Amino acid sequence: MNVEKHVEALREQIRYHNYRYYVLDDPQIPDAEYDRLLRELQELEEEHPELITPASPTQRVGDKPLDGFAEVHHEIPMLSLDNAFDDEELAEFDRRVRERLEIDVVEYAAEPKLDGLAISLLYENGILRRGATRGDGSSGEDVTQNVRTIQSIPLHLIGTDFPERLEVRGEVIMPHEGFRLLNERQVAEGNKPFVNPRNAAAGSLRQLDPKVTAQRPLEMFCYGVGLVENGELPDRHSAILERLRDWGLRVYRGIATVRGLNGCIDYYKRMQQARDALPFDIDGVVFKVDRIDQQQALGFVARAPRWAIARKFPAQEELTTVLDIDVQVGRTGALTPVARLEPVFVGGVTVTNATLHNEDEIRRKDVHIGDTVIVRRAGDVIPEVVSVVKERRPKDARPFVMPSRCPVCGSDIERMEGEAVARCTGGLFCEAQRKEAIKHFASRRAMDIEGLGDKLVEQLVDEGLVNDVADLYHLDIETLYGLERMGIKSTENLVAALEASKQTTLERFLFALGIREVGEVTARALARTFGASSAKGLSDHDRAQADIDRLAKATQEELEAIPDIGPVVAGHIAHFFGQAHNRDVIKKLLDAGVTWPLQEAAAAQPLQGKTYVLTGTLEKLKRNDAKARLQALGAKVASSVSAKTSAVIAGKKPGSKLAKAKRLNVPVLSEKEFIKLLEQEEQKI
């Protein structure tokens, strides 16, 4: 085998598949096969380091951190665009263009105006040589090391017909999902979250250490060219973008050519409607005269081309005043502070409320009642308070105080240590949580009330027929018949299903109550521990009540002694049963006839006392299923490795947990060995 030719063939394959994935959004091979190709190339380059080139797909990250960014002078300035804020200003732009060109109708290339950071990429003989920020338009910063880490930027162009020197211009952005995950990681690591995707993208691209940039979910879309030497490009802007796509550069697929002012307005409206569904932020659309000869005829003013304009969307950030701060209770009991605002027009609508997320966020932003604040609204997303203009704080501004009781039902407010969200503890009682509590109670894995769907639950609550889960068992044919979609047959079936659901199991009943973080496995552990195995002389009702009383009286220490129940879950359980209204609803359920068979004594579980850690991706089992099967066998599933860990189960692409297990001499099981262990131990119970 000719190693050099094989290495180059691998690189060509990887470039091609990058093109299919990032440019065409049409991958031809699964990720596992792509990873195999990349690993093979890495291994060959390690064996033959003399074959490594800067344009190899393996060389995206590896340079040392910089002390600072070098200055780059743009050979052709990166000019800004004039803006149009309404259709009249857009019409004026179109009139000027038509008059200068002396034509009746102009063809425009129309594209979204991405909200990110402008970037310049210089390719020489198809190889990426330099990446630079726009800066002031005349000069920017050399960020070559960082742009090389962005997977959607090719290190080597596809084909052979590109110019000898080609400067490609575009926008580096951070998609919404990547921004969400990045901020979750920031908060988990104790760092300040980014304000918006644009700031996150700009901050990520200007990291002195490229390894940090490589961990950020950046992407790039190209929107034009600058310098072109020793090569020809098409005579229309839209065709140039197609050619860039052919060479492996990413171009937004929604770009179009439109005729005249009406075509521009129609495209603007389409993008405004599509804006909320896009996976990234845009703040308007850009219209460019499509023919290059017409662009050249129109020329430039001092800082902007005469042949292009940005039609901006309505502003998404404005100043207003916080009139008060209320607290809303969500369907899961989460308490969300909401700022009541002096009405302000932002993002195309009048905004009077904005979320403040949680108490910690209020403290971090230092929001007081009476403050002047910046409010942001992006599409249909709930408006939020971005920051406070502290210089305008009045002397009578008041700090916010979180209530100690639920403003809807009066139940205690619970905020566990380490959690940002405060919650109402009246899950079975609180009006704000009523619908979700009933839906969960009736679900298949809980009380399994067939025929009680979400729409019917909402109708029953809205019409005042059901105020808590116990009221379900007082529904009869006369009450149900005639409700929307409830004929005589469906009514009879639901009444029969309600009656049948009264005969359940203790673990299903406990799961159905919706206690925070009490899933099926934890409910089973509670049932085994507190089931009245010796109460054979009692009636079914009294025995069921005795089971509940025994659980309700359990101390935090007794709950924590149960396998897989730590202090947080134990606290949730104790808090739930400590609320009198929750116990009242349970009593109503038992009085209505809900009961369960005698609980057998808990058998010793084969993996009780053992602790396992999962890392990597399992191919045959979902992680939640693997965790549930371990817990059902009595094992504890931990998130970190210690010397006391019984074994680490390693799937594909394991993380640092595997390395730590090896350092501590903790046994490591493959997925095959893990499944064999499960099957062996499950046969024992």
**Nearest to 78, CA basis, from 205, 173, 142, 169:** 169
Quick one: CA dihedral 216, 221, 223, 224, positive or negative? positive
Within 286-405, where are the H helices?
A: 292-298, 359-365
**Nearest to 233, CA basis, from 221, 243, 223:** 243
Residue ranges in the chain whose pLDDT is less than 70: 1, 21-27, 30-32, 35, 60-67, 302, 315, 348, 378-381, 418, 532-536, 563-564, 599-604, 685
CB 294 within 8 A of CB 307: yes
CB 18 within 8 A of CB 56: no
Write down the pLDDT at residue 19: 72
Largest CA distance in the chain: 101
DSSP 646-684: -EEEE-BS--HHHHHHHHTT--EE-HHHHHHHHHHHHTT
Question: What token pair was written down for 229?
Answer: 């030497």
Q: What single letter denotes the amino acid at residue 548?
A: I
Strand order in the sheet with 165-173: 127-133, 117-124, 165-173, 219-229
Which residue's structure tokens are 């704000």? 432
DSSP 57-124: TT-SS-PPPPSSPPEEE-SS-----EEE-SHHHHHHHHHHHHHHHT-S--EEEEEEEE-SEEEEEEEE
Residue 8's alpha-carbon distances to 15, 22, 37, 148, in angstroms, are 10, 21, 12, 19
CB 275 within 8 A of CB 313: yes
Residue 255's alpha-carbon distances to 219, 240, 283, 422, in angstroms, are 17, 12, 15, 45
Determine the distance from the C-alpha atom of residue 358 to the mean position of all C-alpha atoms in its chain, rounded to a whole number. 18
Q: Catalytic residue positions?
A: 113
CB 260 within 8 A of CB 90: no
Question: What token pair was written down for 19?
Answer: 């093109």
Write down the pLDDT at residue 121: 95
Please give the Cα distance from 299 to 437 (Å, whole number).
Answer: 65
Question: Residue 59, by phi and psi: left (phi above 0), alpha (psi -120 to 50) or beta?
Answer: alpha
* CA dihedral of residues 651, 652, 658, 659 (deg, nearest 10): 170
Please give the Cα distance from 479 to 191 (Å, whole number).
Answer: 55
CB 550 within 8 A of CB 530: yes
Per-residue model confidence as pLDDT tens digits over 138-196: 888 899 989 999 988 999 999 889 999 999 999 999 999 999 999 888 888 888 787 77
Q: What single letter denotes the amino acid at residue 600?
A: E
Tell me 595's DSSP state: B
Quick one: CA dihedral 377, 382, 385, 386, positive or negative? negative
Please give the Cα distance from 597 to 504 (Å, whole number).
Answer: 8
Q: How far apart are the first and last CA of the chain?
A: 56
**Nearest to 326, CA basis, from 334, 316, 314, 338:** 338
Tell me 142's DSSP state: B
Burial 244-265 (b: 16+ CB within 10 A, else e): bbbbbbbbbeebbbbeebebbb
Please give the Cα distance from 611 to 657 (Å, whole number).
Answer: 14
| pTM for this entry | 0.50
Q: Which residues pair with 368 in a beta bridge?
A: 399
Residue 574 is inside which H or E element, if any? Answer: helix 567-577
CA angle 493, 459, 504 (to 5 degrees): 45
Within 366-487, where are the H helices?
A: 434-442, 454-462, 477-480
Which residue's structure tokens are 């209020």? 362
Question: What token pair was written down for 227?
Answer: 């310098």
Please give the Cα distance from 271 to 265 (Å, whole number).
Answer: 10
Please give the Cα distance from 655 to 650 (Å, whole number).
Answer: 9
**Nearest to 218, CA basis, from 112, 285, 111, 131:** 131
Question: What token pair was written down for 570?
Answer: 């134990």
Beta carbons within 10 angstroms of residue 671's beta carbon: 18
Please give the Cα distance from 621 to 619 (Å, whole number).
Answer: 6
Write down the pLDDT at residue 269: 94
* Residues 6 or more apart in contact with residue 554 via CB below 8 angstroms: 530, 573, 574
**Nearest to 326, CA basis, from 234, 400, 405:** 400
Please give the Cα distance from 78 to 59 (Å, whole number).
Answer: 28
Domains of the chain from N-terminus onward: 3-51 (1.10.287.610), 82-312 (3.30.470.30), 321-399 (2.40.50.140), 449-501 (1.10.150.20), 506-591 (1.10.150.20), 611-682 (3.40.50.10190)
Residues in the chain: 685
CB 118 within 8 A of CB 132: no
Please give the Cα distance from 451 to 457 (Å, whole number).
Answer: 10
Please give the Cα distance from 101 to 62 (Å, whole number).
Answer: 51
Question: What token pair was written down for 414?
Answer: 């619970």
Question: What token pair was written down for 296?
Answer: 């050249």
